[in-house]
Amino acid sequence: MDITLISILGLGFILGIKHAIEPDHVIAVSTIASQSRKLWQASLAGVFWGIGHTATLFIIGIILIMMKNDIPEKWSMTLEFFVGIMLVYLGVASMLSLRGNKGMQHQHEELHNVPIKRYTYYKSLIVGFIHGLAGSAAMVILTMSTVNSVWEGAIYIVVFGLGTVIGMLLFTTIIGIPFILSMKRTITSKTLLFSTGVISTGFGIYYMYNLGVNDGLFSLWV
């Protein structure tokens, strides 16, 4: 492995960390991490997001690199549009979850601790899959412009993915701290959870509007 490839992989790792903290990624994972009851659970939510994201990028990216092709713009933007839908769903679900936390909160936590924990990880994985689909086109363009062969492309995507996993691990650990500290302060906890839901919903609507109207996605399908 020559020094040039090592430099490219190093750059890919740094770009992966930067990619992890893009606004749509941060907002989506924040709504999931906010439901964690322990800090390590919030951290693992970020790890599972990174795994799902990398898996999708790797599979689709390698196929497209081997075919020496790219995703058409219309389909690429459509996949991005699904990210907006997902953000709205996560935000609304986060706000609706507050409705069931009034009367039997402690009993609810004891009965559903394990299922909710597993559900959080599955949700993070699925959200990562969707973000990976939406980012496949840009990833392939970036990879094809920096490497010379399929195996170099595969290594680059894995290293990039490792960067996103570490970046999201660090972020969800940090973002999980205020939620964990507010667990015993019901009003503060609910305010944080509701605020996260509002931000996710609002950004999701803006995201879809920007893609559909400003970037012309709707006109491509009409």
171 in any annotated domain: yes
Over 147-166, what HEC string results?
A: CCCHHHHHHHHHHHHHHHHH
Model pTM? 0.77
Total domain count, the chain? 1
117 in any annotated domain: yes
3 in any annotated domain: no
* Burial profile 32-66: b = 16 or more Cβ within 10 angstroms, e = fewer: bbbbbeebebbbbbbbbbbbbbbebbbebbbebbe
Burial class of 9 by CB neighbour count within 10 A (0 to 12, 13 to 18, 19+): buried
- Per-residue pLDDT of 151-165, as tens digits, reads 888 888 889 889 999
178 in any annotated domain: yes
Walk along the chain (222 residues) in steps of 10 and give the mean pLDDT of each run: 75 85 84 80 88 88 75 83 91 80 45 52 86 74 71 86 91 85 72 88 94 90 80
106 in any annotated domain: no
205 in any annotated domain: yes
Q: How far is CA 220 from CA 76, 77, 212, in A?
A: 12, 10, 9
In angstroms, the CA 27 to CA 91 distance is 9
